[in-house]
Structure 1
Amino acid sequence: MNRNLVLFNVLVVVLAVMADQMIKALVVAKMALGEAIELLPFLAIYHARNNGIAFSMFSGMGEVGLAALAGVVLVVVMILWIKTPADRRLTHFGLAIIVGGAIGNLIDRVLLGYVVDYVYFHTPVWAFAIFNLADACITVGAGVILFDEFILQPRRERVRARADRTVD
């Protein structure tokens, strides 16, 4: 990887972690646990604690187990990131926001024993899981990587194949 790409990726990770932790600190400082502030008829800020991982899965594993699991996943993502070719800039960006989100939630898990969640999509008859910016970073990062891998990369390969045929 070239130096500019590394610096950009580190900046993305740091910004994701800082934004996540600042918003969580604000929610914890200004809202009681279980308090909701309705922003729109379908969106609220709702102070919640997640003792599991995504959608409260594995909530029975305990603090240490979940922190260890998150750490292992983070290491695996870092290995994939290091092995990703430098020309796959969009994938690098996706991995950077995933790492930022994972670190943000890991900080909560290690320091608090749970993750602070606060984004709540709902209607009178339906409610989505409560999540946070770190979760959104992880989800969007995964979507960016899938888009790059399954849409953009095949296009790049077709363009290269056409260019190789015209050179021959």
Structure 2
Amino acid sequence: MNVGCDQVSKSVARTHIDTHESISVIGEYVILTKTENKGAFLGFLSSMENPIMKGIFLIVLPIAVLLFILRIIIVNTDLDRYMIFGLCCIIGGGIGNLYDRILYSSVTDFMHIDLGGIFKTGIFNMADVSVMLGTGLLILSFIKRKEVSLS
């Protein structure tokens, strides 16, 4: 489901937002700005010149990591619901961005949050939200496990 939401939102952004155009959604706090990210998170590796190494880091390695996470879900029977849902969110977000990299050679990012000096993001997409939500759920799961083991 999160792969579908990610791809639909990116399709809408590609169709209705010009590259680097800024559209205020909630004042200056939530802004739509479309960019094409040729690298990983926040443009990491976007300037890598060697196409073979770039392909390894941006396509092959993510596929291996996603398969490893899937294996963890299938093999481990003692995972709590936060961990399972978190890992699934990471897989879904990873697939969404990987799909873009394979099909378009870049990932469409289009959302930006700026809450003044309190909180500011780079430009991101729904797949990134899914990965961050999944990471948060994994942290929550580890904290809950730690609390149980301390009791």
Q: 34-43 vs 136-145, which deviates more?
A: 34-43
Question: Map of 1:1-168 to 2, 5 A cutoff?
Answer: 15-40=1-26, 41-59=28-46, 60=48, 62=51, 64-65=55-56, 66-122=58-114, 128-149=121-142, 151-158=143-150
Cα shift readout 1:45-91 (whole Å, capped 9, x = no counterpart)? 11111111111111116463311122122122222222333451110
- Unaligned runs of at least 5 residues, structure 2: none
Task: Give % identity.
Answer: 26
Task: Report the TM-score when normalising by structure 2.
Answer: 0.84
Structure having the higher helix fraction is 1
- Unaligned runs of at least 5 residues, structure 1: 1-14, 160-168
Larger Rg: 1
Q: 1:94 to 1:124 in 2, by over 3 A?
A: closer
Task: Report the TM-score when normalising by structure 1.
Answer: 0.77
CA RMSD of aligned residues (A): 2.1
Q: Secondary structure at the match of 2:33?
A: strand
Q: 1:108 to 1:153 in 2, by over 3 A?
A: same
1:155 to partner: Cα distance = 2.9
Q: 1:154 to 1:115 in 2, by over 3 A?
A: same
